[in-house]
Structure 1
Amino acid sequence: MHALPLAVMAFILYVAAATWQALTLTRRVSSRTGLVRSFGLLALMCQTPLAIGLLDQGASLLPGITTSAVLISGLAVLTLLVVSLFKPVLNVAVGLFPLTGIILLLAIGLPSPERHPGMTPGIALHALSSALAFSLLAIAAFQAILLGIQNQALRHHHIRGVVQSLPPLTSMERILFELIWAGMALLSLAIASGFVFLDDMFAQHLVHKTVLSLLAWLIFATLLVCHLWLGWRGMRAVSWTLVGYLVLLLAYFGSKFVLEVLLAQG
């Protein structure tokens, strides 16, 4: 099957699942978590051949920006579907699913430059832990957005609509910090394995990613320490989570954009 029909099918399924969950949040339809998960899983099954096809374009040390976006968005969806079996985080699908669908449509036909053939087990560990950390912290970022909406609504005594559909505020905060703790563990593994297995983490083509990844780690670490010792929560936790993830986003995709788009054009 050609890439475009698969991408369109995945996009439709992602949007359908996200729409139902959004309607659930606004209390316009009844909750159907099984339906949302099923549509998300079917969309992910459509996405998988596209990801494999991008990888088959050529072996590489680190995938190009197009391949990375498709792989990481798919991994984030898979992570969300699994975590939602144990934690009430499926509302994150309202933002994550459509974004993944858009990434798929944009990825069709775009080149994915491949560099540095060969991937050792150590580098594979670095790549996998990086992708998992990025995916978990993406879910944490969407969770933070929902928590921010909930906080603002409660501050203004708006207790109807979306707020009624979300878990209690304390549960939302607890889940947010659980996601950050898990993401931080994987991010620490990714950074440590990078220093061990990559030739030079501060080489010219990796220095931006390394510095920004360390900065993101420091932001999340500060948030966790201050949450434990100073009781940081609420909008402060939301702000630090979003800033930390933005820095991580720049670390992963900003460096790839500079290398593969700006420098390539230059």
Structure 2
Amino acid sequence: MNLSVISGFAAFALYLVACLILYRQYRGQQRPSRASVLIPGSLAVLAHGLCLWQIILTSHGLQLGVFPVASTVAFTGAIVVLLSSLYRPFEWISALVYPFAALTIPAMLWVNTGYIAHPLAHGLGMHVLFSILAYAVLAIAACQAVLLWVQDRQLKSGHIRGVMRVFPPIQVMESMLFEAIWLGQILLTVAILSGFLYVDNLFAQNLAHKSVLTLVSWVVFSVLLTGRYLRGWRGRTAIRFTLSGFAVLLVAFFGSQLVLEFILKR
């Protein structure tokens, strides 16, 4: 067994341990303690990072196939959750981020899409970095929107049930949602601008759909933030815009990348 498999297996196991701790605390309708998030989560992230280092960095360049990138997005999301948990009640989001991070590891290790690693041109690394950061933060915003939708439905029905009783008030949830969207939108803007600066022919045949859909997603989030500022949009309007914008962004990269790697074999 090489180092990537050992570290990947360790990360997978640690993510599952963290999930079990979180689910048991939620089942008892208790707010998860920070230690239950930070200790196993930090160890899992360290092992995950080591695994990614072994897989993505090759002698021929960077391995940026769909599963390594998905795992990198999940890894980045786990780091964001850990750091955010130090100053905001973000512990609950770990119950959604950790399982996804765990599932991306075996896919990255054992599913071969035929993607060939290649070196990045000057400046392209910044585009890739900010794209991954934007995906990760906006994915967290989408998770937040889903939970906010559940909380909103229960409030409108007249009673909060189950684990939602230990969640922050809906005003705090909305505030955290828009914080994540603002950060994600800033990162996405930098990613788009760096793409225009450093990617040759951004609207070439194999990049056009990805570029157009990413711009559509940026517009959706911009409309939401403008509506929040000018009209005070919140609740289900914010949820719909968030999930719609992220769905478009998801298709922009992962949908097109799956077609390129699995069907067209590029």
Please give the TM-score of this superposition, normalised by the length of structure 2. 0.92
**Identical amino acids, percent of aligned pairs:** 34
Aligned partners of 1:89 and 1:143 also within 8 Å: no
- Alignment pair present for 1:171 and 2:172: yes
Which position in structure 1 is the counterpart of 2:249? 248
Which position in structure 2 is the counterpart of 1:17? 18
- By how many angstroms is 1:147 displaced? 0.8
1:103 & 1:117 partners in 2: Cα distance?
22
Which AA in structure 1 matches 2:185? Answer: M
Alignment of 1:128-167 (within 5 A): 128-167=129-168
Which AA in structure 1 matches 2:264? Answer: L
Which position in structure 1 is the counterpart of 2:44? 43
Which position in structure 1 is the counterpart of 2:68? 67
2:15 & 2:62 partners in 1: Cα distance?
30
Change (3 A) 1:51 1:155: same
2:248 & 2:78 partners in 1: Cα distance?
21
- By how many angstroms is 1:203 displaced? 0.8
SS in 2 for 1:108: helix
Change (3 A) 1:59 1:158: farther
Which AA in structure 2 matches 1:129? Answer: F
Deviation by residue 1:189-214 (Cα, 9 ceiling, x = unmatched): 10011011111110112111101100
Change (3 A) 1:178 1:239: same
- By how many angstroms is 1:64 displaced? 1.3
Which AA in structure 2 matches 1:13? Answer: L
SS in 1 for 2:10: helix
- By how many angstroms is 1:20 displaced? 2.3
Judge which range, 59-68 or 180-189, deviates more: 59-68
- Alignment pair present for 1:92 and 2:93: yes
Deviation by residue 1:162-185 (Cα, 9 ceiling, x = unmatched): 232111110100110011001000
**Which residues of structure 2 form unaligned runs of 5+?**
none
Change (3 A) 1:248 1:80: same
Change (3 A) 1:73 1:31: closer
Which AA in structure 1 matches 2:79? Answer: L
Aligned partners of 1:6 and 1:47 also within 8 Å: yes
Deviation by residue 1:38-83 (Cα, 9 ceiling, x = unmatched): 1111111221222112113454477111221121111111111112
Change (3 A) 1:30 1:167: closer
- By how many angstroms is 1:120 displaced? 3.8
Number of residues of Structure 1 aligned to a counterpart in Structure 2: 265
Deviation by residue 1:114-173 (Cα, 9 ceiling, x = unmatched): 557332442111111111111111111111111111111111112243232111110100
- By how many angstroms is 1:105 displaced? 1.7
Which position in structure 1 is the counterpart of 2:216? 215
Deviation by residue 1:205-253 (Cα, 9 ceiling, x = unmatched): 2111101100110111111111122222112211211111111111111
Judge which range, 214-223 or 63-72, deviates more: 63-72
Aligned partners of 1:60 and 1:114 also within 8 Å: no
SS in 2 for 1:31: coil
1:172 & 1:11 partners in 2: Cα distance?
29
Please give the TM-score of this superposition, normalised by the length of structure 1. 0.92
Judge which range, 37-46 or 55-64, deviates more: 55-64
2:159 & 2:59 partners in 1: Cα distance?
53
1:249 & 1:116 partners in 2: Cα distance?
22
2:179 & 2:31 partners in 1: Cα distance?
28
Which position in structure 2 is the counterpart of 1:188? 189
2:33 & 2:90 partners in 1: Cα distance?
14
- By how many angstroms is 1:15 displaced? 2.0
1:28 & 1:208 partners in 2: Cα distance?
45
Which position in structure 1 is the counterpart of 2:227? 226
1:255 & 1:221 partners in 2: Cα distance?
23
